[in-house]
Amino acid sequence: MKTIDWSALDAGARAAALARPGGEDQAGIEAAVKRVFEQVQADGDTALRALTRRFDGVELGAFEVTAEEFAEAEAAVTPALRAAMVEARGRLLAWHRAGAGQGFEIETAPGVSCGRVLRPIARVGLYVPAGSAPLPSTALMLGVPAEVAGCPDVVLCTPPRADGRADPAVLVAAALCGIRRVFKLGGAQAIAAMALGTGSVPRCDKLFGPGNRYVTAAKQLAAMTAGGPAIDMPAGPSEVLVIADAGAPPVHVAADLLSQAEHGPDSQVVLATDSAGLIEAVRTEVERQLAELPRAGIARQALEHARLVKVGTLDEAFALSNEYAPEHLILALREPRAWLDRVTSAGSVFLGDFAPEGLGDYCSGTNHVLPTNGAARAWSGVGVASFQKAISFQQVSREGLAAIGPCAVEMARAEGLEAHAQSVLRRLGDAA
């Protein structure tokens, strides 16, 4: 892990020091994803079978999970895991219901009533990764807000295992959210199938879910396709930034860094602290804990991109963080709540020594599908609103038209749009 003295760097060097890994081959990734889309567009299910054979090493006759496979998944998952998923789902439901938006209606002028109604997106496509490990938690994170929003048609894609089946825990998590249309498809080809539609996979109106850089590029390409679906956000390789003071327990900080590093080789973990002593203690603790991890090899690759940043003050750390805009931000500070107002860009924030990022990944109640790669400067994590459309409406009486019509006429003529003005004037004549 590289140590950086923040005060010794100029603006350009600071940006370079915290650059996310993997950007150098982005053009190649985008070209590969474009070829996948072209294949799926041209050959549909035939292309999906060939791509699944190539990338997953599995020959599939049918992609959709059967009722028998759902039943077998229920039998395969341990009671303890199922109970944990039920428990986590309960907290997710509570959090998402509390944060759900509502319609409204107000009178903006006498006789003019304007409002907004919320409607669920008709068909949504959820992507649940299983690259180096299946993620049933992601099925819950996507399925619960879709359920709360009331989406009538939910499609879920997840990569097949070597035996040609979907991960049982993913299927159980999907079933807990009422999702029964699950397809054994992974990677860019899954995104292409949901974006374009094939004989087996229905075309979706909006796509959700995290994934590797190929999946992220596929979602972005889908959103740029004429008539293509919307997407939730850019959600690629995972990342965490920890802001810590001298009182932070090194064992906790090291564990937080490693919890993200084990996601994949292209994950990035960053520590920003005003304590040089903490940096050295964390470095030692990371090596000690790393030796105990089953995924140590993956974590070590990710740690090549890790940064231990020495700042002069915590104010500098927050300025750094807001510019970096991390997916996960952990405030390992003695009074973390007092610093929360300083956070302007982050996917999700974890306050204090007893709020590990792992709780947010699974069961605290917040959603773990979050913007990455600096997208948190403008994007938010998945919520119920992500699965809804807001439709405005207005109702105007004769008196209301008389009151505000001249305003519209004046503005329409200033823009040279006489037909707009006439649409009001002809009614004003009727209203007279």
> Could you tell me the residue ranges of all domains in the chain?
25-107+120-232, 237-363, 397-431
Two structure tokens written together for 231: 């997407």
Residue 430 has pLDDT above 80, yes or no: no
CA-based diameter of the chain, in Å? 84
Q: Just give the CATH number of 237-363.
A: 3.40.50.1980
Domain at 397-431: CATH architecture: Up-down Bundle (1.20)
Q: By the 8 A CB rule, do 358 and 328 touch?
A: no
Question: Residue type for 407, please?
Answer: C
pLDDT score, position 431 = 61
pLDDT score, position 134 = 85
Rounded to 10°, the helix 398-414/418-431 angle is 160
Task: Give the residue carrying structure tokens 């996310």.
Answer: 20
Q: What pLDDT digit, counting tens, does each position of 20-56 carry?
A: 987 778 899 999 999 999 999 999 999 999 999 999 9
Task: Give the residue carrying structure tokens 């995924």.
Answer: 295
Question: Nearest CA to 145 among 83, 202, 94, 204?
Answer: 94
Question: Nearest CA to 351 among 373, 334, 367, 369?
Answer: 334
Residue 236 has pLDDT above 60, yes or no: yes
Q: Give me the mean pLDDT over the 422-431 stretch.
A: 89
Q: Please determine whether the domains at 25-107+120-232 and 237-363 fall in the same fold group of CATH.
A: yes
pLDDT score, position 207 = 98
| CA 243 – CA 9 distance, rounded (Å) | 19
Question: Nearest CA to 366 among 385, 352, 350?
Answer: 350
The fold for domain 25-107+120-232 equals Rossmann fold (3.40.50)
Residue 432 has pLDDT above 60, yes or no: no
**Is 328 annotated for ligand binding?**
yes
pLDDT score, position 243 = 98
Residue 407 has pLDDT above 60, yes or no: yes
| CA 85 – CA 141 distance, rounded (Å) | 11
**pLDDT band per the 50, 70, 90 thresholds, residue 349:** very high
pLDDT score, position 131 = 73
Q: Which residues contact 28 (CB under 8 A, 6 or more apart)?
A: none
Spatial strand order in the sheet of 239-244: 2-5, 307-310, 268-273, 239-244, 328-332, 348-351
- SS3 state of residue 293: coil
Lowest mean pLDDT among 140-144, 211-215, 249-253, 342-346: 211-215
Question: Nearest CA to 316 among 245, 372, 238?
Answer: 245
Provide the 10 A C-beta neighbour count for residue 183.
25
Q: Which residues contact 308 (CB under 8 A, 6 or more apart)?
A: 1, 2, 3, 4, 270, 271, 273, 279, 282, 283
Q: By the 8 A CB rule, do 384 and 148 touch?
A: yes
- SS3 state of residue 225: coil
Lowest mean pLDDT among 114-128, 185-199, 228-242: 228-242
Q: What pLDDT digit, counting tens, does each position of 363-377 carry?
A: 999 999 999 999 999
Distance, C-alpha 394 to centroid of its chain: 33
Active site residues: 327-328
Q: By the 8 A CB rule, do 240 and 269 touch?
A: yes
DSSP state of 19: P
Alpha-helical segments (H) within 113-248: 136-149, 168-176, 187-196, 213-224
**Is 263 annotated for ligand binding?**
yes
pLDDT score, position 25 = 84
DSSP state of 178: T
| CA 240 – CA 228 distance, rounded (Å) | 32
**pLDDT band per the 50, 70, 90 thresholds, residue 6:** very high
What percentage of the chain carries pLDDT values higher than 90? 95
- Bridge partners for 240 per DSSP: 269, 328
pLDDT score, position 429 = 86
**Is 415 annotated for ligand binding?**
yes
**Is 304 annotated for ligand binding?**
no
Q: Give me the mean pLDDT over the 326-339 stretch.
A: 98
Provide the 10 A C-beta neighbour count for residue 171.
29
pLDDT score, position 417 = 98
Q: What pLDDT digit, counting tens, does each position of 271-305 carry?
A: 999 999 999 999 999 999 999 999 999 999 999 99
356 φ, ψ (degrees, to nearest 5): -70, 150
Q: Report CA Rg, the chain.
A: 25
**Is 260 annotated for ligand binding?**
yes
pLDDT score, position 246 = 97
**Is 386 annotated for ligand binding?**
no
Q: What pLDDT digit, counting tens, does each position of 76-120 carry?
A: 999 999 999 999 999 999 999 999 999 999 999 999 999 999 999
**Sheet strands (E) in 313-387:** 328-332, 348-351
Q: What pLDDT digit, counting tens, does each position of 127-171 carry?
A: 999 877 889 999 999 999 999 999 999 999 999 999 999 999 999
| CA 55 – CA 158 distance, rounded (Å) | 13
Question: Nearest CA to 267 among 154, 357, 385?
Answer: 357
**Is 238 annotated for ligand binding?**
yes
Mean pLDDT of the chain: 96
**Is 305 annotated for ligand binding?**
no
Q: Give me the mean pLDDT over the 320-328 stretch.
A: 97
Alpha-helical segments (H) within 57-167: 67-76, 79-99, 136-149
